[in-house]
Structure 1
Amino acid sequence: MRNISDVIEEYLKGILEENRQEAIEIKRSELAERFDCVPSQINYVIKTRFTVEKGYIVESKRGGGGYIRISRIQHRKDSEMIEEVMELINPRVSQSKAIDVLERLVDYEIITPRESKLLGSVIDRDVLAFSLPVRDEVRARIMTAMLFTLKYKC
């Protein structure tokens, strides 16, 4: 059984895909009403599932006519997206943000799900048994090396 966060995420991604829009605007309260949840649940989904690492930009306007605008980051070339990701992860990157980046690379079909799992296992905190912040720096270097290779292979 899926949880409400998964359902809300799928719904929002579906709207983005369905309409082929660059951005969607939603009202937090209307979405909460639709899914019979509290508005903070909507905030949680947007904050954790629509991040820059995953390829989204979120803008928010509060108040009576407030809205949340979610747009997918558009790139003309894969190499541009890879360059942006390299900037995002340096000089250090946490494991959760690194996994978000891998999911984004799979979504854009730059790497396969199998390659994502392989790299994910290499950058796992249990494998990189260093103390922080060294662990996050080593993870960023490993990912940057991989991305550098992908950038010039594309």
Structure 2
Amino acid sequence: MPNITDLIEQYLKQILQSSMEGSVEIQRSDLADKFSCVPSQINYVISTRFTLEKGYYVESKRGGGGYIRIQRVSLPSLEAVQRHIQQTVGEQIDQTAAEGLIYQLEEARFITAREARLLKTAVSRDVLQLKLPLRDEIRAKLMKAILIALLAK
């Protein structure tokens, strides 16, 4: 059985998917009421599941009449994705940023769920048991090499 954060994430993704504009504007309190949770739970889901690294732009306005706007940032073409990878990965990349990029590529269907799992495993700190900054440098090289091979399919 999924937990409340998973349910909120799924709900927001469904709304985003059905949106013609590719964005959704919600009231934090309305969403909290819908899921019988506190507004801080909504904040948690949005701040951890809808990040720029994962392909979302979030805008928030607090106070009376406040809202949260979530917009999907799409990756239009293979060339744009390759440029995005080069810019995002660079010479070093930490595990959180790497996982965010992998998530974004999987969501955009540039890689499969299986490829995403394999890539996450290959670049995890459990596998790359090295000291920083060497670990982040090797992770970046692995990410680039594997993604170039996967996207050339």
Q: What amino acid is the match of 1:2?
A: P
Report Cα offsets for 1:7-37 as digits up to 9, x if no partner: 0000000001122332111111111111111
Matches within 5 A, 1:122-141: 122-141=122-141
Q: Contact between 1:27 and 1:66, CA under 8 Å: does it hold in 2?
A: yes
Structure 1's 74 and 121: CA in aligned 2 closer, same or farther, altered over 3 A? Answer: closer
Q: 2:64, 2:85 → 1: CA distance?
A: 35
Give the TM-score taking structure 1 as reference length.
0.88
Q: Secondary structure at the match of 1:46?
A: helix
- Gaps of at least 5 residues in structure 2 are none
Aligned to 1:38: 38
1:150 deviation in Å?
5.0
Aligned to 1:81: 81
Aligned to 1:48: 48
Structure 1's 36 and 82: CA in aligned 2 closer, same or farther, altered over 3 A? Answer: farther
1:114 deviation in Å?
2.0
Q: 1:91, 1:8 → 2: CA distance?
A: 35
Aligned to 1:103: 103
RMSD: 1.9
Structure 1's 104 and 125: CA in aligned 2 closer, same or farther, altered over 3 A? Answer: same
Aligned to 2:117: 117
Q: Contact between 1:5 and 1:45, CA under 8 Å: does it hold in 2?
A: yes
Structure 1's 128 and 5: CA in aligned 2 closer, same or farther, altered over 3 A? Answer: same
Report Cα offsets for 1:29-60 as digits up to 9, x if no partner: 11111111111101110011011121111111
Q: What amino acid is the match of 1:66?
A: G
The sequence identity of aligned pairs, in percent, is 48
Q: 2:63, 2:97 → 1: CA distance?
A: 30
Q: Secondary structure at the match of 1:109?
A: coil
- Gaps of at least 5 residues in structure 1 are none
Structure 1's 66 and 91: CA in aligned 2 closer, same or farther, altered over 3 A? Answer: farther
